[in-house]
Chain A
Amino acid sequence: MNKTRFLAIITLTILWLLLWADVTRILVAGGLIVATLIVFLFPFPALNLAPVVRPLRLIALVAVFLWDMFLASLQVAWLAIRPQRLPSAALIEVPLITGSDMLQVLTAELICLVPGSLLIELDSEGKRMWLHVMNVSSPQSLAEARKMAHDQEYRVLAALGSQDEYDQALARREAAQA
């Protein structure tokens, strides 16, 4: 049994106990049995977990994300209730830096959770994704949409990416600011 499967069983058992909100011998045994069954009956392809974790950057990732989510929720709310017609949207292609499935999914999920941007397609091997972004009707808002996606990937790589990919994201960020 490899390390990932072992971790999965432990995590699922903890989740089971949380759902019961109680810890007894029967529940722990039951949780272990269910978790083991799930892991072996529904095997997932091996996933490379994040090689590095930078705790401060991780906190920054979560904090900035929650703040973004709040601001963007207000913006979409305003678009929904204001009397004018909805402005046009755009479908943009965004190149990704990371080749890791895990970090690509995380970046895409976070972008998808922030109101106003929606993942349409992701080409994992080609390191590209396509986003549908609301309220894009000028070259300026188009540039902002791309920057939003790049910044999200930068924060993910800063928190969990390998040093090499982090450096690349940092270089792209600095190039964009210059």
Chain B
Amino acid sequence: MSNLTDIVAGAFLIAGASFALVAAIGVARFPDLLNRMHAGTKPQTFGLLLILTGLAIRLDSWRAGLLIAILIVFQMLTAPVSAHMVGRAAFRAGLVNRDELYVCEAPDEEPPAEGHTV
């Protein structure tokens, strides 16, 4: 059995690491900030999720499993928030080249009052 868990856990670790690698390639290759945010925050999150799942399978201990579950939950709660903050800041600062967008339905030039935005 331990052979099988090793193989499954190994597959998860390799798949996760590949997503992290591809995320890095995306960050290096994509032309502008928003597209880079896509590469830098999402495949990497999924890759980390796979790596942690592989780790949980391999460690086979409920304590480690619980810690890993917490890690996954917090990673998934915080990653989109940071991605959103960078994206919003970039857009408001005018770092987004609107001509390159296929469609641009920009929010009102005057951003809504602070309390109303998330």
| Residue in B76, B79, B117 whose CB lies within 8 Å of A123 | B117
Chain A residues within 8 Å of B87, by CB: 118-120, 132
Q: How far is the CB of A124 from chain B (nearest CB, A)?
A: 6
Chain A residue nearest to B78 in the complex (CB): A109
Give how many B residues have a beta carbon under 8 Å from the other chain's beta carbons: 48
Known contacts A136-B103, A137-B102; A21/B66 CB under 8 A: yes
CA gap between A26 and B91 in the complex, in Å: 49
| Residue in A90, A105, A119 whose CB lies within 8 Å of B104 | A90
Chain A residue nearest to B104 in the complex (CB): A91
Contact assessment for A76 and B106 in the assembled complex, using a CB-CB cutoff below 8 Å: no
Contact assessment for A91 and B84 in the assembled complex, using a CB-CB cutoff below 8 Å: no
CA gap between A115 and B38 in the complex, in Å: 6
Is A86 part of the binding interface, using a Cβ–Cβ cutoff of 8 Å? yes
Chain B residue nearest to A109 in the complex (CB): B80
| Residue in B22, B38, B77, B98 whose CB lies within 8 Å of A109 | B77
Chain B residue nearest to A45 in the complex (CB): B115
Chain A residues within 8 Å of B35, by CB: 86, 89, 134
CA gap between A100 and B92 in the complex, in Å: 25
Residues on B lying within 8 angstroms of A by beta carbon are: 19, 22-23, 25-26, 29-31, 34-35, 37-39, 41-43, 45-47, 63, 66-67, 70, 76-77, 79-81, 83-84, 87-88, 91, 96, 98, 100-107, 111-112, 116-118
Q: Which 8 residue pairs of A and B lie closest in terms of their CB atoms, listed nearest first?
A: A112-B80, A115-B42, A80-B26, A21-B63, A93-B105, A77-B22, A90-B103, A73-B46
Known A90-B104, A118-B41; 6 more pairs at CB < 8 Å: A73-B19, A73-B46, A80-B29, A108-B118, A112-B84, A136-B103
